[in-house]
């Protein structure tokens, strides 16, 4: 089982937080939801790393995982969504 799925399984802190965010975001403008969640992510990086040299590789790796996870949900030929199941990404 991949690290991404394992750490967001039901009962984990990541899963609980993800459910709370999704619940609170219902009905909100999607741009607002994206901006808020990205701001939380940036704050977490800022709090965890004291130096730019520490944060930059972790940030780059996270962004690459985010893009890869998202693109896997789309058919590369048609460009259409493959599934409506939740996308789970974690550390």
pLDDT tens digits for 34-80?
999 999 999 999 999 999 999 999 999 999 988 988 888 888 999 99
Q: Where are the domains of the chain?
A: 3-71
- Per residue in 2-39, pLDDT (tens digit) is 444 445 677 888 888 888 888 999 999 999 999 999 99
Residue by residue, what is the 3-state secondary structure of the chain?
CCHHHHCCCCCCHHHHHHHHHHHHHCCCCHHHHHHHHHHHHHHHHHHHCCCHHHHHHHHHHHHHHHHHHHHCCECCCCCCECCCCCCCCCC
């Amino acid at each position: 089982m991949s690290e991404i799925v394992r750490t967001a399984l039901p009962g984990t802190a990541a899963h609980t937080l993800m459910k709370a965010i999704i619940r609170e975001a219902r009905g909100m403008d999607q741009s607002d939801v994206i901006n808020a969640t990205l701001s939380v992510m940036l704050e977490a990086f800022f709090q965890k790393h004291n130096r730019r040299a520490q944060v930059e590789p972790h940030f780059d790796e996270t962004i690459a995982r985010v893009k890869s996870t998202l693109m896997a949900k789309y058919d590369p030929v048609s460009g259409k969504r493959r599934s409506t199941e939740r996308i789970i990404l974690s550390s």
